[in-house]
Structure 1
Amino acid sequence: MKNTDKYTRNYFNPPVSEHRWSSQEYISKAPRWCSVDLRDGNQALIVPMSLEKKLEFFQFLCKLGFKEIEVGFPAASETEFQFVRTLIEQKLIPEDVTIQVITPAREHIIRKTFEALDGCRKAIIHLYNSTSVAQREQVFQKSRSEIIEIAVSGAKWLTEYAAKTKGEFLFEYTPESFTGTELDFAVEICNAVLDVWKPQKEHPVIINLASTVSLSMPHVYANQIEYMSDHLNYRENVILSLHPHNDRGSAVAEAELGILAGGQRVEGTLFGNGERTGNVDLITLALNLFSHGVDPILDLSNIPQVVEMYEDATGMNLPPRQPYGGQLVFAAFSGSHQDAIAKGMQWRQSHSGAHWNVPYLPIDPQDIGRSYENDVIRINSQSGKGGIGYLLEHKYGINMPKPMREEFGYIIKGISDHQHKELSPEEVHQIFMDTYLNLQTPIRLDDFYFVHKKEYHTTVSLTVGKEEMELTGRGNGRFDAVSNALRRGLNIRFHDIVYQEHALERGSTSRAIAYVGITSDSQKTYWGCGVHTDIIAASIFALFSAIDRMLTQEQND
């Protein structure tokens, strides 16, 4: 590819040879979460949310369990200002939720921000200014000391206006474009701000290290975070916050490694909405923790509802392969995958209490409001008998014998391949019924009864074409008697009968389902199925269905 010499590595790796974070295997507890959907996410939308939509989304974020929510840039527009005022004046902020607002280090904007917060019980004031080499040289054309002066002045104005405003205020500082900032300068400017605010245990300060533009591999961001954690003043009174963006597609990895490196808090959005390629996806981060047995401290038990709210509020559609939330993320079309999942689920039924370790499923889809039938086992021309059988068994109670399941699997694959489409569970069920269940052509079973002497004697009423007739037969059982009546009365030749039955539902009024396989003189096996409240009737209907399939097939051949 041309022009590779145009690019270089515009980040700064710490001058440290060993990093403690790399020896840690996993994250043992959830960080503090801060949703920035209503600010960072909202400003990235083609059509920003209306006041009403922001209110609805805010309440939904509270319902999910977010305790810190950045609600906007109050000085940026009248809608942003009024949104903050509405939350405060209508007392819509729960007692355990702290709103966050953002402001650059400019006095008139800081003054407007505090006007918006008048009467707020508790809020985080998020101060930022750009610090990277690119921003200093190209945008602001200022020296390091001049950039520090901007940050320090902003910090002093926050202290001044907070003292004049009723409420409890927590301060946050972001050296915006941190990842393109020399680390010694990042430390210097953060410590200069901290020296103004002098955080205490009862009144900590948030230092937010934003990967405003992702410039490096994730481990470098983690190295930067660990270095900052080691060199910040007042460290025991500083909440170290992460704010990764997804330019390189690695925001989740940056956040996870950043937490290992000392990050205590993460700012991000639902499903990663944000400018350019987006913010870090808090849903993925939280459910990654969940998959390791760590409580994410968010209620994500109904992901379809979260997706619905997200799409409605943002006007965007979630990609089908988006981790956890996408329509196809649990879907198994491959026959071998479906078979492994089905066997894994069967294994769990006989090993109660076992930790989740089902093939191809990192978490149980049901834990986040997804279903096996609609989200996991998906049927198309690549599907196998295991997945098709699992779907019919768990959604409709149909547990076919293994050879019948294999035959039906090929039928479904053929139909899906011919129609060039996925088949829904309802379609698969209907195909099963049309193919096997209580068939009446070319022979229709009308009635039957038995007399038991030394053997079972039966009279069977049936219709062949348009002709009604009665057949008699006897055998050592009811099923045997009917089979013999058909062989003798219609000269139908079959042998090696395979029979299986079970209850289709539970309870005294449940129906029985029976499966019958018969082998013709050509050594081909034909399957039929019968359903009835009486198990004997179900088995006889299944026998007639198998015979009807045999006669139809042999006639067509």
Structure 2
Amino acid sequence: MPMLLDPATKYLPYPAVPFSPDYARRWPTQRTTSSPIWLSTDLRDGNQALVNPMSNATKLELFRELIKIGFKEIEVAYPSASEQEFQFVRSIIENGEVPDNVSLQVISPARPDLIARSIESLAGSRHAIIHLYNAVSPVFREVVFRNTKEQTIDLTLNAVLLVKKLTEEETARSGTRFTLNYCLETFSQTEPEFAVELGNRVLEEWGKASPTDKMIFNLAATVECAPSNHYADMVEYFSTHIKQRDSVIISVHPHNDRGTAVAAAELGLLAGGDRIEGCLLGNGERTGNVDLITLALNMYSQGISPGLDFSHLSDTVALVCRCNDMQIPVRYPYAGQLVFSAFAGTHQDAIKKGLDMQAKRWSEIDRTGQGIKYWAMPYIPLDPKDLGYGYENLIRVSSQSGKAGTAYVIKQNMQLDIPRRMQVSFYKVVQDESERTGKEMTVASITSAFKQTYFLDSKPLGRLFLHSYRLFPLSPSTREPSSPMSDYSDDEPQSLIRFEGEMTVDGEKRTIRGDGHGPVLAALDALRADLALELNIGESAGQTINADSPAYAKAVTFLEMYLPGTSPSKSGAGSVWGVGISYDVTASKCRAVISATNKLLGDRSLPRARKIFSPRPTASNVDSDSWLQGIKLRAGRIPSRSDQDVHEGDTTNWATTA
């Protein structure tokens, strides 16, 4: 049967709430400023909706988790439904599982035999809540029970009187203190005037409600059959017309048939609600109850403490899913695996900039002791770390991502702050690989691609590999080298030096030599002289990683290079970069030169070595990171952008990034 062209011939719109013509609704101007009373009904409403209900052992495990989270009111069972349910209530009371500040609630229909069994189950508990319910809407009165309004009122009041009598007797026997929670089942489909009339009659019959011993009215949206604003209207109407308002707790119980249970609950609180009933992750009949996790964290993200602790949310979610034999979508609010993940390039760029800016702002607050470390992040309304997550999942890289996402992964896992134009260049590598495989690029695969692209390994990855090097000062007049330099510093870029590098070239070891003002130009001259490679330098940048631990600090050099007759692209797309990392600044620059040269080399043939390299048994011929061992060095630094690393026409700037 197809959908109707005119559904008005079959479905009626929701009726208006009968406010007086001059009445001004209060809830639209209200603002939530404190948390409500929370009632978890996971062990009842949630359990009754399961294909295979929980065993008592499983219920106990979930009950303990609810206690750990911080719930003070928990609906634990329908004791009159089965012996198993009854015994669960008895077991947690008799085994001391219920803290003194936690109230147990059980549910009972308005039937004398079932009411008695429910009250019996609670004997000996410190504080118990009897959830008494009956459906009162027209469709139930007329179709299911075939009762008039008067008969519905009589049935309800008789049940209330019995609850009053039996709870007073049980209090005398065991000392258990009881609270009545009367639920107007199907409230959302009940005439507001009748709901108020029935509520006032129940309040009068109970006769014990006071500001210090309040009675609860459960306004159940058993079926969510209207917009959330309509539910708010109904709650406000009831709240403003019920007698003894200061002696009443209004409990909202939304279901999710229209997909707006969270909105209905939030508006219901603005309309006068004091208490929320629901389940973790919204488990429940049909489309479920309202999700208490989403509600609580919505408040938390606005600076309101919900009084519930979800510091280890992933563990809580895993437990709830296991106990209920359920799964949640990866995009489920707060609890889903991908809710804090961005794949789109524009989103990733904004998040990366937000994290960088926030880190600087928070650092300044730490330094000055002034200001508040408030969370202000594009696309991420709540700090994942507050829920026990890290930032490693914030940015996920696919073929639809951008340079910022890839750069973020490298920074998080290798501490490398890639220059912006280099980000464009490297992302093309990542994008090509993602398109080739048709899959997301993981942190491991991106890191591996970075190391392979820029030949970052202790063993040869490319055709060229620099084992070690030595620098010799040259006489300006004779250009003859003297003893190896033991104190070369980038503070003296004008000095003419000779670079002697011990390398593997296409699997064979050889020594290359070249002269220049500074190690980079000298290394380039060596590549030209020995390998016939003419190379030019483009953009460059430097960085220190582990700067806070001098013993482990390393210098990083990012170097763009290009062939004569070409020029670097303005955007960075297609540019060739090299990366060098070392405990020594000069070594990092030399390694960056070789890294970029490997990329530019391609499959071109290289001239044969002028002579075979043989290691010299000298103390100065050691690995490039340790060749200065035993020699007292002058303290050097990574130069700033204002320093010049070259001389006579070379315009390379070496930036320093903390």
2:392 aligns to what? 373
- For residues 98 and 221 of structure 2, the distance between their equivalents in structure 1, rounded to whole angstroms, comes to 29
Offset from partner CA, 1:194-246 (integer Å, 9 cap, x none): 11112012211000100000111111111100110111122110001100000
What's the counterpart of residue 615 of structure 2?
none
Q: Match of 1:156?
A: 161
Partner residue in 1 for 2:193:
184
Q: How many angstroms does 1:512 deviate by?
A: 3.1
> Which residue pairs with 1:411 in the alignment?
429
Paired residue for 1:359? Answer: 378
Q: Secondary structure at the match of 2:417?
A: coil
1:515 aligns with 2:520: no
Gaps of 5+ in 2: 363-371, 476-495, 569-574, 606-658
Deviation, 1:484, is 1.4
Mapped partners of 2:126, 2:439: distance in 1: 56
Give runs of aligned pairs for residues 403-442 of structure 1, distance below 5 A.
403-438=421-456, 440-442=461-463
Q: Deviations over 1:144-201 (max 9, x none)?
A: 1111111111111111111121201111000100011111111111111111112012
Amino acid at match of 2:425: E
SS at match of 1:351: helix
**Partner of residue 222 from structure 2, selected from 212, 233, 238:** 212
Checking the alignment, whether the CA contact within 8 Å between 2:452 and 2:461 is kept in structure 1 is no
Q: Could you tell me how far 1:254 is from its partner in structure 2?
A: 0.6
Are the equivalent residues in 2 in contact too, given 1:9–1:215 (CA < 8 A)?
Answer: no
**1:196 has 2:213 as partner:** no
- 1:138 and 2:143 aligned: yes
Separation in structure 2 between the aligned mates of residue 364 and residue 127 of structure 1, nearest angstrom: 41
Give the partner amino acid of 2:188: T
The verdict on how the C-alpha distance between 1:107 and 1:11 changes in structure 2, with shifts beyond 3 A counting, is farther
Q: TM (normalized to structure 2)?
A: 0.82
Matched, 1:14 2:18: yes
Corresponding residue number in structure 2 for 1:89: 94
Query: Does structure 1 residue 546 correspond to structure 2 residue 567?
Result: no
Q: Please, which of 316, 341, 358 is the counterpart of residue 331 of structure 1? A: 341
> Match for 1:486: what amino acid?
L
DSSP 3-state at the match of 1:462: strand
Q: Is the Cα contact below 8 Å between 1:437 and 1:531 reproduced in 2?
A: no
Instruction: Please give the alpha-carbon distance, in whole angstroms, between the structure 2 residues aligned to 1:279 and 1:554.
Output: 69
Amino acid at match of 1:328: L
Q: Aligned pair 1:456/2:475, yes or no?
A: no
Closer, same or farther: CA 532–379 of 1 in aligned 2, 3 Å: same
Measure, in 2, the Cα distance between the counterparts of 1:491 and 1:127.
Answer: 92
Which amino acid counterpart does residue 37 of structure 2 have in structure 1?
R
3-state DSSP of counterpart to 1:109:
helix
- Give 1:526's aligned residue: 576
Matches within 5 A, 1:56-455: 56-165=61-170, 166=174, 167-198=176-207, 199-352=209-362, 353=372, 355-374=374-393, 376-438=394-456, 440-454=461-475, 455=496
Residue 487 of structure 1 pairs with residue 492 of structure 2:
no
Give the structure with the larger helix fraction: 1
Give yes or no for contact 2:537–2:559 (8 Å, CA) kept in 1. Answer: no
Q: Structure 1 unaligned runs (5+)? A: none
The 8 Å contact of residues 437 and 542 in structure 1, kept in 2 or not, is answered as: no
Code of the aligned partner of 2:226? S
Residue 20 of structure 1 aligns to a residue whose secondary structure is: coil
Report the CA distance between 1:497 and its aligned residue: 4.2
Match in the other structure for 2:585: 535
Matched, 1:31 2:36: yes
User: Aligned to 2:85, what secondary structure does the other structure show?
Assistant: helix
Opposite residue 512 of structure 1, the aligned amino acid is A
For the Cα contact (< 8 Å) 1:11–1:216, is it kept in 2? no
User: Conserved in 2, the CA contact under 8 Å of 1:471 and 1:489?
Assistant: yes
Name the stretch that deviates more: 18-27 or 83-92. Answer: 18-27
Contact 2:343 2:397 in 1 (8 A): yes
Specify the code of the residue in structure 2 equivalent to 1:494. Answer: L
Q: C-alpha deviations, 1:515-550, integer Å up to 9, x for none?
A: 221111233531122223323222222211110011
Q: Cα deviations across residues 49-75 of structure 1 (Å, max 9, x unaligned)?
A: 111111111111111111111111111
d(CA) in 1 for partners of 2:12 and 2:530?
88
SS in 1 for 2:467: strand
CA contact (8 A) 2:74 2:104 kept: yes
Equivalent position amino acid for 1:160 in 2:
K
After alignment, is 269-278 or 476-485 more displaced?
476-485
Q: Distance in 2 between matches of 1:440 and 1:157?
A: 84
What one-letter code is carried by the residue in structure 2 that aligns with 1:523? S
- Counterpart-to-counterpart distance in 2, 1:468 and 1:120: 84
Partners in 2 of 1:68 and 1:339 — Cα distance? 44
CA shift at 1:354, angstroms?
Answer: 5.3
* Count of residues paired in the alignment: 554
Check conservation: 2:463, 2:507, Cα contact below 8 A. Answer: no
C-alpha separation in 1, matches of 2:603 and 2:400: 26
Distance 1:275 1:390 in 2: 43
Is the 8 Å Cα contact of residues 13 and 224 (structure 1) preserved in structure 2?
yes
**Cα RMSD for the two superposed structures:** 1.7
Contact 1:527 1:545 in 2 (8 A): yes
How far apart in 2 are the matches of 1:495 and 1:40? Answer: 72
Q: Take 1:22 and 1:129, find their aligned partners in 2: how far apart are those partners?
A: 28
8 A Cα contact 1:14 1:223, kept in partner = no
